[in-house]
Structure 1
Amino acid sequence: MRILPRAKREAMFEIYKFCRKVDDVADSDGPRDARLAELNRYRDDVAALYAGKSSERMGGFLGPVKEFGLRRDDFLAIIDGMEMDVVSDIRAPDLATLDLYCDRVASAVGRLSVRVFGVPDDDGIALSHHLGRALQLTNILRDVDEDADIGRLYLPRDYLSAAGIESSDPHTVLAHPNLGQACAPLIGKAREHYRQARAIMDRQTRASVKAPRIMAEAYAPMLDKLQQRGFAAPRERVRLDRAHLILAVLRYGIL
């Protein structure tokens, strides 16, 4: 985000800060009732923001909301997505629930972001749909062990059942010899979302998509690494290739 012009950069930092804070609420180990109450306070903050009132947590959005036309529903969708993790630990959701989760915690962030980047509305919504889901599915595949340690399993029930895995217990699923078979269609789905996102970005001005282009080019190679590594235990964590990220920044952000 540092390569963006100042107003856009500061707006994106505010969006990132908001997402980080509500994500911290969802992932904390506090009582569920207390976390739900805190998320509701963020909903109150959003309501105040769109009533033109400043608040300690959302005051930095007063300018960006007006300048970039940020939409209230996208802020609320992000909070709704975090709430899905708080109400109960997500374990082997069906495909429709997983897609809703991805829309709320990732594509809604994209819908805020593309308005800052300056992508036209229709293409911006489509780009958010595809790139948000691509990035979130990549994270889910990368973080299966970390998620299991906090009682969560985002791999869809449909793919687990097709691979002969009927349990929804995270550690039982991750120890199953057919885990890779269950992850393969999710890798394929993420690849298709990256492909669709690139097609949309190819018809935009270079300046409007340099940040999402860098994100896509940095994250997509992790799918290859995950596929090459496989999902048999023990699984070495796959990380962003820093050199590849620097090249993407140079190619799409600077040169």
Structure 2
Amino acid sequence: MTPDQYCDDKAAKSGSSFYASFRFLPEPTRLAITALYAFCREVDDVVDETHDEGVARTTLNWWRKEIANLYDGTPQHPVTRALKPHVARLQLPREQLLQIIDGMEMDLTQARYNSFADLRQYCYLVASVVGLLSARIFGVSNPATYVYAEKLGLAFQLTNIIRDVGEDARRGRIYLPVEELQRFNVPAAELLAYRESDNFRDLMLFQIERAEALYAEALAALPAEDRKAQRAGLVMAAIYRATLDEIKLDGPQKVLNQRLSLGGARKLWLAWKTWMFA
């Protein structure tokens, strides 16, 4: 198996909405973004699938050293070997790859966020930075596109948090800010007991409205001259916004006890429609 095949297999097995948006890209761009996505999956899996915190930290430090190897031209892992041809060609910043690892590491020690400002910093590391790297891979002619990419990454992560509230609670994590739980009178204990309530529904509607506003801000910030190059991001936005719509229609309080996901056929239809008409 080649490094590119390894990355493609990693991305395909994830079942992610992101993978659906890669299919229409020219090969060099598709290979680069798939390698980046596989890197994100690798470091995320370290935190989610390693039950020993010490082992997880050691593995993340190994990845930091592997990023150094990548920029020295001697990567060892299939993912970094797949990234190697694109690092210099696209001038991918080393610091941003390291920031993704830093964000993933936060999940080892922090299971609560007091305010949205605190949560936003976490989201910047694990999602907005990925958006910035992705935008660079897709092609940027106007620097304002990076504003779009940062906001879109935040909107994606907030959508993930909304969709995965129940799944995260089962891991003992609550990403919804403590201040907002208190404002809507939703005790953390109710989330950890997966107890649906009217207050929780109102809290989730508030989260959805904020995410929707961020999608609107991101799309408004995208310069017209970069819209075609950034179509893959627009495809992802269409899929994620459709997911939010389904959560809202189904009853947002239900995310505690079920994880809503769009079917593969619908993702492909949204991807094709957005790609053709974006």
* TM-score normalised by L of structure 1: 0.90
Q: Is 1:167 the equivalent of 2:188?
A: yes
Which structure 1 residue ranges, 5 or more long, are not aligned? Answer: none
Deviation of 1:183 after TM superposition, in Å, equals 1.8
Which structure 2 residue ranges, 5 or more long, are not aligned? Answer: 1-21
List aligned pairs for 1:118-129, cutoff 5 A.
Answer: 118-120=139-141, 122-129=143-150
- Alpha carbons 1:173, 1:179 under 8 Å: kept: no
Which whole-Å CA distance do the structure 1 matches of 2:213 and 2:198 have between them?
26
Residue 77 of structure 2 aligns to a residue in which SS? Answer: coil
Aligned to 1:240: 262
Aligned to 1:101: 122
Percent identity of equivalent pairs? 34
Q: Is 1:77 the equivalent of 2:77?
A: no
- Alpha carbons 2:131, 2:153 under 8 Å: kept: yes
Residue 153 of structure 1 aligns to a residue in which SS? Answer: coil
Q: Is 1:111 the equivalent of 2:99?
A: no
Which whole-Å CA distance do the structure 2 matches of 1:106 and 1:119 have between them?
18
2:164 to 134, 140, 143: 143
List aligned pairs for 1:45-64, cutoff 5 A.
Answer: 45-57=66-78, 58-64=80-86
Amino acid across the alignment from 1:53: T
2:41 to 20, 43, 48: 20
Which whole-Å CA distance do the structure 1 matches of 2:163 and 2:118 have between them?
19
- Counterparts in 2 of 1:142 and 1:149: CA distance versus 1, 3 Å: same
Q: Which one has a larger percent helix, Structure 1 or Structure 2?
A: 2
1:36-86 deviation digits (Å, cap 9, x = unpaired) = 111011111112222333322412222101111111111011101110111
1:172-196 deviation digits (Å, cap 9, x = unpaired) = 4744541112222211110011101
Aligned to 1:227: 248
Aligned to 2:217: 196
Deviation of 1:96 after TM superposition, in Å, equals 1.7
1:226-250 deviation digits (Å, cap 9, x = unpaired) = 2222244574432225454333322
Amino acid across the alignment from 1:240: L
- Alpha carbons 2:73, 2:84 under 8 Å: kept: yes
Which whole-Å CA distance do the structure 2 matches of 1:11 and 1:232 have between them?
38
Which whole-Å CA distance do the structure 1 matches of 2:209 and 2:274 have between them?
25
Deviation of 1:155 after TM superposition, in Å, equals 1.0
Structure 1 stretch 222-231 or stretch 23-32: which is displaced more? 222-231
Which whole-Å CA distance do the structure 1 matches of 2:270 and 2:209 have between them?
23
Task: Give the length in aligned residue pairs.
Answer: 254
Deviation of 1:93 after TM superposition, in Å, equals 4.0
2:88 to 66, 87, 106: 66
Deviation of 1:92 after TM superposition, in Å, equals 4.6
Amino acid across the alignment from 1:19: C
Residue 204 of structure 1 aligns to a residue in which SS? Answer: helix
Which whole-Å CA distance do the structure 2 matches of 1:183 and 1:107 have between them?
22
Deviation of 1:171 after TM superposition, in Å, equals 1.3
Deviation of 1:91 after TM superposition, in Å, equals 2.7
- Counterparts in 2 of 1:67 and 1:33: CA distance versus 1, 3 Å: same
- Counterparts in 2 of 1:169 and 1:55: CA distance versus 1, 3 Å: farther
1:217 to 233, 238, 241: 238
Structure 1 stretch 163-172 or stretch 4-13: which is displaced more? 163-172
- Counterparts in 2 of 1:193 and 1:232: CA distance versus 1, 3 Å: closer
Pairwise CA RMSD: 2.2
- Alpha carbons 1:219, 1:240 under 8 Å: kept: no
* TM-score normalised by L of structure 2: 0.83
1:115-149 deviation digits (Å, cap 9, x = unpaired) = 11002362232122111111111111111111111
- Counterparts in 2 of 1:191 and 1:232: CA distance versus 1, 3 Å: closer
